[in-house]
Chains A and B, each alone.
Chain A
Amino acid sequence: MKEKYLVNARIVDPANSIDEIGGLIIDSNGLIKAVGKKVKNGNLPSDIEKIDLKNNTLIPGIVDMRVFVGEPGFEYKENFRTLSNAALSGGVTSVVSMPNTSPVIDNVSMVDFLKRRGRDKSKINIFPAASLTKNTEGKEMTEFGLLKRKGIIAFTDGVKAVQNPQVMARIMNLANQTKALIMQHAEDNILSEDGLINEGEISTRLGLKGIPALAEKIIVERDLAFLEEYYCKYHISQISSMKTVSVIKRAKEDGKVFSAGVSINNLSLTEDDIGDFKTFLKLSPPLRTEEDRISLIRGIKNGIIDVIVSDHKPEDEESKRLTFSQAATGASGIETLLPLVLELYHNKSVSLNKLISAITINPAKILDIKKGNLKKGNDADICIVDINKSWVVEKSKLKSKSKNTPIENRKLKGQVQKTFVKGDLVFERTS
């Protein structure tokens, strides 16, 4: 293909400390050839393709560490093709897919299937996570070593936490030998049993069983204690409460090395939004109080929390049109991740640089992949966003197969205009 000259943009690439007006050159192999103010609009060679970005913002393609795809087993909720379309319209070019499929991704024979499906049906980079334990039952560990050789870069039981401390200790002990990344969904199942929303005034009023913030804190504290004995690459998938933010802050100050993420839902919504039993806001971890939300935002600002994820969990209408206790857990979110992240920039809570880091270079570093970074020679995975464009979320316009957005009718500021993967323009907004 011809070289592409992307010109007239604000380039924001935290990995290389770039925030300047300029452009980006994609070479004929789809790799980044040059970036920054040196790429000017003028005196361009003749045999190239020029793309005028019209003063929009150019950032690395987003790396989303927590995404659920329905393949195999739940294709009616989301398949690789619909996920890919949804991701690209949100500027997401790389995802880590959760292993909570049917069957569970817990052995090497599944990995080839997933890679093939991901490659054939989607245009984004799919990095499948495998489960930590067989069938995510929390009892017997999976073959990290063999799975890692097959190209699995992260291990997690996805929607579940490993409850048994003995099993978790052994997993962490063994993980270091293969340098496997362990991602924990921190929740004590006994404390949160039958829990539906945050434990507090709202759960008391709605008569719904609460999930105490302690259920999260206790697992994080347990795992951090293990980390002292059995060092490994450890990541807490998503935290939801002020209590956990304090635990993580203290541990990092004490010099412990690990990372933590937060769902965009917990940064943009609270338990008050649940209103009259809105099942689209039934999430795990649950939405908590405004005080918790503020502390999570501060966590991003101060670098206590490293990563923001969409926690994209498509659920079909039938799974949500039930009573609150029977309804499925989770929200669709990959298409609205970036605009919700930008809300925190527009309302001056966090700097653009910090926010973009949390969805590009930070997850890429944790996953140890060459993504989220506009360095010369990397794949040209790029997102072009009009950061001031206002729009309103309409579920009928979402590209994901399931329409369970928790922010229907919310006015957002910031919209993805173009997305490139490996140098190809794979998404362009028409309207």
Chain B
Amino acid sequence: MALIKKLKAVKINQNHLLGIQDLSLSEVLHILDEAKTFINLNKSSSKKVDILRGKTQINLFFEPSTRTQSSFELAGKRLGADVMSMNIVNSAIKKGETLIDTAMTLNAMHPDIIVVRHQDSGAPNLLAQKVNCAVINAGDGKREHPTQALLDALTIINRRGKVKGLKIAICGDILHSRVARSNIYLMNMLGAEVNVVGPKTLLPHSIERLGVKAFTDMKKGLDNCDIVMMLRLQNERMQGSFLPSAREYYEFFGLTPDKLAMAKKEALIMHPGPMNRGVEIDTNLADDINRSVIREQVELGVAVRMACLKIFCKKTL
């Protein structure tokens, strides 16, 4: 009963989860509160509830993904929804169908929620204009990956109790990272101080305007930080056009014990995965159970996605 009352008290104004930029603080807190209720369920022996029984969830992935797609699939199934995952890499889009036509086709099957990942920034926004159900962005181009940021926030809250007042460093390829952008918006909204750290060629234009301090000296960027978020450096960035070499990158921007020593003693290490060990992060640090919360991020990812599916699916009831 108490839970139901609480749910009614908070209103989500959005019909879709397209980006952190669209959410208010109270909406974010509502999603995180809801996610907390699923953490223990996911650890229990019977993990399934029937909140979304009879609902249809379509995972529409235009880009290959392992962890986000399986996390959303599991989240939907644990809530009792019928989940269909479509990998577009070898389907109609290849035959020349436009995103809108694909959307209209799927819409005709009356899904209740569509989870979409697309290589083009803004694709979920376009999709959301054309379908009758809720759309959840599972990563679009270089723009946003809202559920990743939400699960990062939940991980931090789980360990530190709150985000407010913490100093968070996001390190690596900021330019091409939707995870970085969503986290910048979310951590700022939750009251953290955010630094971004990376080589000049991988820092986006006017990044300070998003409310962060930018550093090209990693030690300065990590100074006195509570949280160190590392980003994946994609292979194609290392071959001379953005960076001289993987070796030089690791020397200046790889997370190593000597650089981590600049952060607070108890600072946590995070990574959205998949990791390049020895490229952006020292392999021992990645596995250090006292510092690294990388596996916990994956675990809480399912809870966050269950919360998002529940909240946004309810919206269209």
- Determine which of B98, B144, B206 lies in contact with A322 in the assembled complex, contact meaning CB atoms within 8 Å: B98
Which chain A residues lie closer than 8 Å to B122 at the CB level? 206-208, 276-277, 323-324
Other-chain contact of B181, A205, A210, A318, A321 (Cβ < 8 Å): A205
**Counting CB contacts under 8 A, is A302 at the interface?**
no
Q: Is A201 touching B206 in the complex (CB atoms < 8 A)?
A: yes
Chain A interface size range: 20 to 34
Determine which of B126, B181, B204, B210 lies in contact with A323 in the assembled complex, contact meaning CB atoms within 8 Å.
Answer: B126
Of residues 81 through 135 on chain A, the ones whose CB sits less than 8 Å from some CB of chain B are: none
Residues of chain B within 8 A of A325, CB atoms compared: 120-121, 141
The yes or no answer to B125 lying at the interface (CB within 8 A) is yes
Please state if A205 and B21 are interface contacts (CB–CB under 8 Å).
Answer: yes
Minimum CB distance partner of B181 in chain A: A207
Complexed CA–CA distance, A46 and B294 (Å) = 93
A200 at the interface (CB under 8 A from B): yes
Give the interface centre of B99, B125, B126, B143 by most chain A CB atoms within 10 Å: B126
Does A324 lie within 8 Å of B205, measured CB to CB?
no
Give Cα A200–Cα B205 distance, bound, in whole angstroms: 5
The answer to whether A207 touches B141, judged by C-beta atoms less than 8 angstroms apart, is yes
What does the 1/0 interface line of B177-207 toward A look like (CB < 8 Å)?
A: 0100100000000000000000000001111
> CB distance A277 to B210 under 8 Å?
no
When C-beta atoms are compared, the residue in chain B nearest to A209 turns out to be B142
Alpha-carbon separation in the docked complex, A206 to B142 (Å) = 8
For chain B residues 197-246, which have a beta carbon within 8 Å of chain A? 204-207, 209-210
Q: Are A324 and B210 in contact (CB under 8 A)?
A: no
- If A199-B205, A276-B125 touch, whether A205 touches B98 (CB-CB below 8 Å) is no
Chain A residues within 8 Å of B126, by CB:
277, 322-323
Q: Which residues of B contact A322 (CB under 8 A)?
A: 98-100, 126
B209 A207 Cβ-Cβ under 8 A? no
B62 to chain A, nearest CB (A): 10
A416-B21 Cα distance, complex, nearest whole Å:
43
Q: CA A323 – CA B100 in complex, angstroms?
A: 9
A residues engaging B (CB < 8 A)?
A: 199-201, 203-210, 276-277, 318, 321-326
State the B residues within 8 Å of A (CB): 21, 98-100, 118, 120-123, 125-126, 140-144, 178, 181, 204-207, 209-210
Closest 7 CB pairs of A and B: A207-B143, A207-B142, A207-B121, A277-B122, A323-B120, A201-B206, A204-B204
Question: Could you list 15 A-B pairs, sorted by A, with CB under 8 Å?
Answer: A201-B209, A204-B204, A206-B121, A207-B142, A208-B141, A209-B142, A210-B205, A277-B125, A321-B98, A321-B100, A323-B99, A323-B118, A323-B120, A324-B120, A326-B120
